[in-house]
Structures are given as structure tokens and as C-alpha cells.
Amino acid sequence: MTGGLFTFGETMGLVAADGIGPLAYAGSFTFGIGGAESNVAVGVARLGGHATWLGRVGPDATGELIRSRLGHAGVHVIALPDSSFTGLMVRHRRSGEFAHVDYHRSGSAGSRLNPSDLPAASLREAGVLHVTGITPALSETCRAAVFQAVETARAAGVPVSVDVNYRAKLWSRFDAAPVLRDLVARADIVFASPEEAELFVDPGDLLGGLTKLGPTEVILKDGGRGCVARIGGERHTVPALPVTVIDPVGAGDAFVAGYLADRLAGEPPAQRLHTAIAAGAFAVTVPGDCEGAPDRVELAALTGGDIRR
């Protein structure tokens, strides 16, 4: 899909306990899929953009579900077959305030992604290459694939988007910081929470520190406080929308999708950020990683207070 979003990474099966409380007392579970990069691809597609996701999947029902769900969402799927299993995560809401996730992904199909899997022509034709800080943590070959993709895109003049997305269960702050700093230094667009940015820049000036590394579009996602950004030298502050939070998981990916969808559509920075905030707000009102990604009509209803009859 020429001119659209190109992204890649590991998408896993998701076993989610229904309700809130200890896992031992969960009475029922929902099975779905989840992955930061594919969540963004779904979000962009739902907002009318072209999105391609690439990843390795195993010879199992979970791998087939990933192909099916992403394709049904309008994403162009490049699911590379692998002899290993498709990764799995198990999530439960221990309380209304936080979720707990266990990963079963060591040696998975997704972790075996390597530079030779990446189609150079597709990277050169993309409107934006989007990568995250999760993939470099999965394996040495995954890390090499991310940096090769970034360099291929940069050489072709394709904007590179990076969501820092630090995962403490995958690697330590000590191991992650230099890799994430190097990745951000090669990006045009960077998304991070304040806590993630503090891994490798001065906490006293997060926007300035990230900008000095090289990106021209720096966006700090700050949950219920909204976002602050510096884009083309101009500072923007956008408050969060007041909504009832059902499930906070996936809000950050929806935010990124909203911003990138509008960027691909040629919208100005302020509009991109407002769409990002609205998409993130919409996502927390429904359960699941990417199931709540809104379309344009739903976003308009959320921001305009419209009632669909």
C-alpha cells in the first residue's frame, strides 16, 4: 500500500480475564490478539488510512486468528509463517486501577523476526515507517531488523516514527536506555510517556532533551493529563477528554494511530494532536487492545457530544 503506514513487530494471542479481581477467582476469559504495532495499524485503518503490518506467526490457531482479525480490520497483513509457536499474553485487572500482564513469548515466532524478512521496496514506498521500543527487546535479530528498517526508510526520505514503549518485563532500564536513545536519535517523530523519556534524557526538560536528539516532532503522552508536544519548533498542549475509563490498555497505541492517520492525511499538527487525544479517549471506553479503535464518525460523536440513533 504505497504512501501509507508500514509497521512490524510481534502480535500475540491475548487471554484476558473478564471482570476485576485476582486471576485465581476469574470466572471467564476472552481470547483475542494484541501487539503495539498491529494496534496502531488497526487504528490507522479504522480512521481511513492505508496500513501494512508485518510479523512472524506460528502454525497454530492463534497465528491464524491474527491474520484474520487484522485483515478484517482493513490492515494489509504480511504474516510470515514460522515453525515456532505464536506468542501469548495473559492479562487480568487486579483492581480498577491497574492491569497485570504475563508474557509467554521467549523463542516465539515473533521473536525470530530478522532483517531479511523486511521488504525494502515496501519500506521505501511507505508514507511513514512506525516502530516501537518493544521489538528491539525481543531478540538480537529483531533489534537488527528494526535498525535496518529505520536506515532503509531514512535513506529513501520516508519519515520514521518511534514509540518508545519501554517494557520492564522484557529488559532492564540499563540495557534499554542506550538502545532506545539511539533509536529515537534516528527518528523524525517520537512518542513517549514522561517516565519513558526520563530513561535517556534530562528529566528537567523532556521535550528539549528529546528534540536535541534529532526528531522534529516530539509528543509526550501523559494519560489523563493529555499531551504536550513540540512540532516544528512550536509547542502544543492538549488536555485529555473526560470519559469513563473501562480499560486503559491500548490507549497509547490508539493515540499514536490518531496522530499518524492525520499526518498521513496531511492535517496540521494541532489537528493531529486533537485526533490523537480523541482516539486515545475512545479506546479506554471499551475493553481490549485494538477492538475499541474508532472510525471518523465515532470520533466526531465523541468530541461533538452527538447521539447516534
> Could you list the active site residues?
253
CB-neighbour burial class of residue 159 (10 A; exposed 0-12, middle 13-18, buried 19+): buried
Cα(33)–Cα(12) distance, rounded to whole angstroms?
6
The one-character DSSP state at 127 is: S
Q: Which three cell numbers stand for residue 243?
A: 470519559
Cα(306)–Cα(309) distance, rounded to whole angstroms?
10
Instruction: Report how far Cα 186 is from the mean position of its chain's Cα atoms.
Output: 18
**In sequence order, what are the beta bridge partners of 88?**
13, 104
HEC readout, 223-268: HHHCEEEEECCEEEEECCCCCCCCCCCCHHHHHHHHHHHHHHCCCC
Cα(185)–Cα(175) distance, rounded to whole angstroms?
17
Instruction: Report how far Cα 231 is from the mean position of its chain's Cα atoms.
Output: 20
Q: Strand locations in the chain, DSSP E?
A: 5-8, 12-20, 29-34, 51-57, 76-81, 88-93, 99-104, 128-132, 160-163, 189-192, 217-221, 227-231, 234-238
Q: Which three cell numbers stand for residue 9?
A: 513487530
